[in-house]
């Protein structure tokens, strides 16, 4: 009986670090001399690119023979290094050595419409004669075939290094992905924790009384329960309109949030006066807002109260979206 949990953890760690894959890929890297040979082959290919797309026109002559020469040298360098022969060895000796070890698989590099023998003949001793008697489009096609063949062979030889870089890139990307996911989870968890631990305000759902009621509103009800216009009460136009909320018990309050009617007419709620009372008859002014607002947090000295009253000391309508009272 196997412990699935024990096998899952190493797999997950490997997915994240790519440690074993990287170790295997680095162990499979050829000797340093092969890497140097590849760099040399790549430099030949770069010269080919410059010859095919020179910054200036060639002064005279056809560069295609030089291009084939460089391509042949690039292929020779790579295959000689792959066959572990002396750097001065010929392309033919490298091909023979690779064929003996079964490592030669050049067929997959041959572009459509050409065989490996064709490409090797064009790149080897028959370079110049390989282009004789051809039209300009035919020469361009033949050079393109040789170029594609050598590029594929060099890219294949570089695959061990490419694999290492790919695995290193995967590790970096997965590390970033995991870190981003962790940050998202942490942020979401923090918000959820705050929501779970946050205390409800003292006013929501508690009884309120308004100085009057504008249809279809009522002069009494439960605070912060919207009826229309996202407001929970609406007085008529009158002198000194007010709304009073009964917190249900004497409580020490530290701040009060007021949210104005959101759709219009916010100027009707200024100047807004907040008062507290222990008995509903004697009132103590806590805060006053004289300029227009959409939301206002009135931070006060901790005050014991049972009732909260909000009023406007002038002739106006009064309507608010929310009144939140906090310990």
Whether residue 74 lies inside any domain: the answer is: yes
- Identify which has the larger pLDDT, 56 or 264: 264
Whether residue 137 lies inside any domain: the answer is: yes
Is the pLDDT at 136 greater than 50, yes or no? yes
Question: Could you say which DSSP state residue 236 is in?
Answer: P
Pairwise CA distance, residues 206 & 324, whole Å: 11
36 and 153, same domain (yes or no):
yes
246-285 pLDDT, tens digit each? 999 999 999 999 999 999 999 999 999 999 999 999 999 9
CB-based burial, 193-208: b 16+ in 10 Å, e otherwise? eeeeeeeebbbbebeb
211 and 318, same domain (yes or no):
yes
Per-residue tokens: 53: 């797309």
- Residue 305 vs residues 114, 237, 249: alpha-carbon distances, Å: 95, 28, 8
Report residue 67's pLDDT band, with 50, 70 and 90 as the boundaries. Answer: confident
- Look at residue 126 in the predicted model and tell me its pLDDT: 52
- Look at residue 60 in the predicted model and tell me its pLDDT: 46
Question: Phi then psi for 258, rounded to 5 degrees?
Answer: -120, 125
- Residue 194 vs residues 103, 191, 198: alpha-carbon distances, Å: 64, 5, 6
- CA 159 to mean position of chain CA atoms: 29
CATH number for the domain harbouring residue 270: 2.60.120.260
Kindly write down the DSSP assignment for every residue of 16-72, as one continuous string: HH-HHHHHHHHHT---HHHHHHHHHHHHHHHHHHHHHS-SS--SSS-THHHHHHHHH
Pairwise CA distance, residues 194 & 186, whole Å: 12
153 and 52, same domain (yes or no):
yes
Is the pLDDT at 89 greater than 60, yes or no? yes
- Look at residue 298 in the predicted model and tell me its pLDDT: 95
From the CB of residue 133, how many other CB atoms can be counted at a distance below 10 Å? 8
129 and 247, same domain (yes or no):
no
Closest CA to 164 of 32, 18, 33: 18
- CA 46 to mean position of chain CA atoms: 35
Average pLDDT value for the chain: 82
Report residue 9's pLDDT band, with 50, 70 and 90 as the boundaries. Answer: low
CB 146 within 8 A of CB 119: yes
Is the pLDDT at 113 greater than 60, yes or no? yes
Pairwise CA distance, residues 59 & 246, whole Å: 98
Structural domains counted in the chain: 2
CB 283 within 8 A of CB 240: no
Residues 6+ apart with CB under 8 A from 82: 30, 34, 94, 98, 103, 157
141 and 222, same domain (yes or no):
no
Look up the pTM and report it: 0.43
144 and 211, same domain (yes or no):
no
254 and 148, same domain (yes or no):
no
Is the pLDDT at 296 greater than 70, yes or no? yes
- Look at residue 250 in the predicted model and tell me its pLDDT: 96
149 and 219, same domain (yes or no):
no
Whether residue 185 lies inside any domain: the answer is: no
Pairwise CA distance, residues 318 & 125, whole Å: 99
Supply the range of the domain harboring residue 138. Answer: 31-157
Which segment of 29-33, 147-151, 178-182 scores lowest on mean pLDDT? 29-33
Per-residue tokens: 77: 């360098």
Whether residue 198 lies inside any domain: the answer is: no
């Amino acid at each position: 009986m196997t412990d699935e949990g024990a096998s899952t953890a190493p797999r997950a760690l490997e997915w994240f670090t790519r440690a074993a894959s990287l170790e295997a890929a680095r162990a499979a890297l050829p000797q340093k001399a092969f890497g140097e040979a590849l760099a040399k082959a790549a430099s030949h290919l770069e010269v080919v690119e410059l010859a095919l797309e020179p910054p200036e026109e060639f002064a005279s002559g056809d560069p295609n023979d030089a291009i084939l020469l460089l391509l042949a040298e690039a292929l020779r360098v790579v295959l000689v290094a792959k066959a572990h022969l002396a750097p001065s060895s010929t392309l033919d000796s490298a091909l023979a050595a690779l064929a003996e070890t079964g490592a030669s698989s050049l067929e997959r590099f041959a572009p459509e419409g050409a065989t490996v023998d064709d490409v090797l003949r064009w790149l080897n001793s028959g370079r110049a004669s390989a282009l004789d008697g051809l039209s300009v489009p035919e020469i361009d096609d033949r050079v393109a075939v040789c170029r594609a063949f050598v590029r594929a062979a060099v890219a294949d030889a570089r695959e061990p290094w490419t694999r290492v870089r790919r695995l290193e890139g995967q590790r970096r990307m997965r590390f970033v992905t995991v870190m981003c996911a962790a940050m998202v989870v942490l942020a979401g968890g923090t918000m959820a924790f705050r929501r779970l631990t946050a205390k409800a305000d003292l006013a929501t759902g508690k009884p309120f009384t308004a100085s009057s009621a504008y249809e279809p509103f009522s002069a009494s009800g439960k605070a912060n329960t919207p009826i229309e216009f996202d407001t929970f009460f609406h007085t008529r136009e009158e002198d000194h309109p007010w709304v009073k909320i009964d917190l249900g018990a004497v409580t020490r309050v530290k701040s009060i949030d007021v949210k104005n009617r959101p759709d219009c007419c916010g100027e009707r709620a200024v100047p807004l006066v907040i008062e507290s009372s222990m008995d509903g008859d004697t009132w103590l002014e806590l805060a006053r807002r004289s300029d227009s607002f959409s939301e206002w947090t009135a931070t006060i000295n901790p005050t014991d109260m049972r009732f909260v009253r909000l009023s406007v000391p002038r002739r106006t309508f009064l309507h608010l979206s929310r009144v939140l009272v906090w310990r």
